[in-house]
Structure 1
Amino acid sequence: MSRSTFDSSDNRKVQTAIFGSAGSDEPALLPQGRDSALRFRRRHGHHTFWCGELLGGCGAQLSARIPGDRVAHFMHHPDVNGRRRPCSRIHIDEHSADHLYVRHALVHWLSGLGFVSDTRYGDPAATGADIFVPALRVVLAVRLSGHNPAEWELQNARLRQGGWHTDWILGPQCGFASAVREHGGTVWRSRCSGTGIERATEIGTADSTGAVRWTPFAELSVTSDGLLREGITMSNTGHRKVPGVATTAPPRYRDPVLDALEEAFRIDGIAAMRRHYMAIVWRMWRGNADEAMQLRAKLTR
């Protein structure tokens, strides 16, 4: 790797990045050990890495630096004049992208149950994600940080507008648990482990002492009253619910790209549908996974 690839004065030791573009939500965690970091770079060498907006980053491109005598980490590319780029990103450790890993795990789980979901970022984007399930009018609010009860109440009121039920899934350092419990809610906790894009996610319910009962995703279900674990449990609204029984029949899951291609066919005919499809396939075949991912995201907006 040439010295011009990264800024040798950048000593921020950033552990997490985003694949593909500054606005992507595909997280990457670089292992600190040299051997594991080299395997990571070999596997993902065709991707680009960024100080992502959803990590509270500056949007600059990053490179994986793997020195022999120090921990591996991401480094910012220098600006056009070779100078260090300013970056005010606060969270840079191994847990700083966990809201995105938790979001991906929940969306994958919901898809397996047949539910289409929509993710919105904010409050703040660097440590939170809101997953809306329209068929049930349920929001799963993922938060890594936050301690002010007044802040939680504002966010909770916003998310519940229009009659949406909201369940809060809090990271180990998030201090919203008391506020959630005082308003009759179930305190869900999340934790992540592992490195790279395979980082594993678990969620569970916390009791009043803070002890967490971690629950496999296979033993969870979701209804219009929110998340439930196996057995009969009390929902946040105080009703007894049986997991696995949705109050609204879930739609069959469809890849949103298929819906977008069908819409292109309906409006502009077979030629438009084929053009969009081949644009994605061509880039994947040429090894430009980042470009294919960006095209896919653009097509489904």
Structure 2
Amino acid sequence: MSAVGMAVKAGAAAGAGSAARKRFAEALRWTALRALALAALLAGWQLVVQLELWPRALVPSPGEVWHQFVLASTVHDGVRGYSGHLLGEHLAASLRRIAQGTGWAVLFGTALGLAIGTLRPVAVVLEPAVTFLRTLPPLAYLSLLVIWFGIDESPKVWLLLIAALPPVAAATAAAVRGVPGDLLEAARALGAGRWSLLGGVVLPAALPEILTGVRIAVGVAYTSVVAAETINGVPGIGGMIRDAQRYNQTAVVLAGIITIGLSGIVLDGLLKAVERLAVPWRGRA
């Protein structure tokens, strides 16, 4: 290798190393900012408790919430977690229900959105129904689902499915309608038929917005899980919260809420990673 080539290679390596250091330093700064914000939140929470602005039974301290978190996660004095199940088991049961509900919602919602976005008669008939479902709070139809399906797993999964389906269907329909007409005309000019046009052009172009709808649907399912587990919801993080609420165990309620929030952040991060892998062209074209 010539001296010039070696110099260029060394310069490129130095530039890559400098960029990596800058990214690491930036990530470190943002992490420090988040840690500082969390510390400020905990300090403010503890100050409210110390000033006794509200009774301890209503606003427990961070330490009390952590203590209940530990108790719910371990076996202590012969008691296994909360209501006979560890916190991880409660969370796993809720995540399983969320996965089932949103899985079916993604399957049916994507198909429904494609139909609404491509077929005008279907849109005229079914789009108002999607909007109708989207405006309904989950508790409005939970009792009906219990009457129809009993108090086992079926009404919980159905509730999460109904709650999560409209965002997927609406996002898919909007994405399909937003596919550039020039792109469709070019594909037709190259001999693409209806199905190849749908699978080779429309779906790839709409995929970024569809994945955004999936993320929204998962968030809706998370916000609905407590309602879904109101009836016979133990094990389940929502059932644990409802049970603790009946006995005014505020620290347990807060521990459950924080668990839902943290697991939601983790899952949303995983969905973002999947989105980056599935549609790497997003924001670049």
Question: Shared fold by TM > 0.5?
Answer: no
Write 1 or 2 for the structure with the bigger share of strand. Answer: 1
Question: Which TM-score band (shorter chain)?
Answer: under 0.3
Which protein is bigger by CA-based radius of gyration? 2
Query: Which structure is richer in relative contact order (CA contacts within 8 A, separation 6 or more)?
Result: 2
Using the size of structure 1 for normalisation, the TM-score is 0.21
